[in-house]
Structure 1
Amino acid sequence: MKIFIKFDFTQICTRVIDEKLEELGIKYRMLNFGEIEFLEDVPSDKLKAFDLILREYGIEKIENQKVILVQKIKDTIIEMVLNTDDTVNVKSSVYLSEKLGHSYGYLSNVFSEVTYTSIENFIILQRIEHAKSLMINTDLSLTEIAFRLQYSSVAHLSTQFKNTTGITPTTFQRIIAKRRALSDNKN
């Protein structure tokens, strides 16, 4: 038997961090996702223990300010892509600038300097990943997915999908359908 699971990485990470800080007896508060304020001086041995525990889960503390900003940009883009139902169709540059309090030019330069790719490419990758997730986990049509992800047309979604994955969305849907059929036949 095979089941499909949807992950909320934000919730998982927040829960792990909450549990581990509680276990270590460290007083804190969550400011934003990925941003914690310690409410007291934390001994270095507890900080080291916390770092080691987080690494076991693939989570690490960021200390470089540019890397921190890039992570905030990525988190904001993911939030923007996942919550397209709730947002008015606003340019991503305006959305990022308003959310992060920096000019888009500055955000773009820092992002490119740290990641060696552009914000636009990262947005496309996230939108395509979300489109794939919607194709796998919902019965939405390509038109509905294109609309939900704020593409101007299905053709635009299809072009970006093929440029990113190497196959068309329709081919991807056929592959998923065949895998499901094979999986159903095994059960």
Structure 2
Amino acid sequence: MNEIIYIKNMVCPRCISAVSNILKQLEISYASIKLGEVKLVSTLNANTKKELSEALQNSGFSLIDDRKSQLIEQMKTLVVEKIHHSNDETDLKWADIISGELNLDYKYLSSLFSSVESITFEQYIINQKIERIKELIVYDELTLSEIAFQLHYSSVAYLSNQFKKVTGMTPSNFKKSTNQNRKSLDEI
């Protein structure tokens, strides 16, 4: 019987590798692994689950046991995947993506997110997009127009206004700045 476990703070391919290594060290067989989620081959006993929890915590991850926390982590994972790890050219409709993936009403999920995370789900998405913009500006491979297009902004002006509202500086000021303070994805 397959068991699915949810893991907090898995935000990149290196996290998948790190969790995979932990599972191998503990000799826990799994069918698949992706950001925030591992499908195990069999159910874990209490001792093994405790060992796994401790090993994950030592590496900056944690098991998520309650359903509401699992839903919130799944929402975060979907946002990170779409913004940071996808080159999807279609316009993103977050309500459709989230409710479609989790098979729950978007208003419920958005309200749940706000009640637990102390920011709105929409603000979380904006914060993730701003961090991605910072990353792309630092890489200096794309124009601001290309960044706006890639992140589904309607215009460069809209991107710039949102960037300034969140960071306090324009994208060009950020690019010139010596203090390009970026946050890791699990801190957002």
TM-score with structure 1 length normalisation?
0.82
Give the alignment partner of residue 81 of structure 1, picking from 77, 80, 83. Answer: 83
Could you list the runs of 4 or more consecutive aligned residues of structure 1 that deviate by over 4 angstroms after TM superposition? Answer: none
* SS of residue paired to 1:120: helix
- Tell me which amino acid in the other structure corresponds to 1:23: Q
Q: State the Cα distance separating 1:129 from its structure 2 match.
A: 0.5
Aligned to 2:124: 122
Per the alignment, do residues 54 and 174 of structure 1 end up closer, same or farther by CA in structure 2, a change over 3 Å counting?
same
Instruction: Indicate yes or no: 2:13 matched with 1:11.
Output: yes
Q: State the Cα distance separating 1:23 from its structure 2 match.
A: 1.6
Gaps of 5+ in 2: 1-9, 181-188
Give the alignment partner of residue 58 of structure 2, picking from 56, 59, 81. Answer: 56
- CA-atom RMSD, angstroms? 2.1
Whether the 8 Å CA contact 1:84–1:148 is kept in 2: the answer is no
Map Cα deviations across residues 91-146 of structure 1 (whole Å, 9 max, x no partner): 22122222222221111111111111111101110111000000011321111111
- Tell me which amino acid in the other structure corresponds to 2:98: L
Q: State the Cα distance separating 1:71 from its structure 2 match.
A: 0.5
Aligned to 1:29: 31
Whether the 8 Å CA contact 1:111–1:119 is kept in 2: the answer is yes
Q: Higher relative CO (CA 8 A, sep ≥ 6), structure 1 or 2?
A: 2
Aligned length: 171
Moved more, 8-17 or 163-172: 8-17
Q: State the Cα distance separating 1:59 from its structure 2 match.
A: 0.2
Higher share of residues assigned helix? 1
For the residues of structure 1 that align with 2:92 and 2:40, how far apart are their CA atoms? 35
* SS of residue paired to 1:49: helix
Give the alignment partner of residue 157 of structure 1, picking from 156, 159, 168. Answer: 159
Aligned to 1:44: 46
Per the alignment, do residues 83 and 36 of structure 1 end up closer, same or farther by CA in structure 2, a change over 3 Å counting?
closer
Per the alignment, do residues 174 and 91 of structure 1 end up closer, same or farther by CA in structure 2, a change over 3 Å counting?
same
For the residues of structure 2 that align with 1:74 and 1:151, how far apart are their CA atoms? 20
For the residues of structure 2 that align with 1:137 and 1:9, how far apart are their CA atoms? 20
| Structure ID, larger Rg | 1
Per the alignment, do residues 80 and 151 of structure 1 end up closer, same or farther by CA in structure 2, a change over 3 Å counting?
same
* SS of residue paired to 2:63: coil
Whether the 8 Å CA contact 1:84–1:150 is kept in 2: the answer is no
Aligned to 1:184: none
Q: State the Cα distance separating 1:82 from its structure 2 match.
A: 2.5
For the residues of structure 2 that align with 1:97 and 1:87, how far apart are their CA atoms? 20
Gaps of 5+ in 1: 1-7, 180-187
Aligned to 1:169: 171
Whether the 8 Å CA contact 2:29–2:40 is kept in 1: the answer is yes
Give the alignment partner of residue 137 of structure 1, picking from 136, 139, 161. Answer: 139
Higher share of residues assigned strand? 2
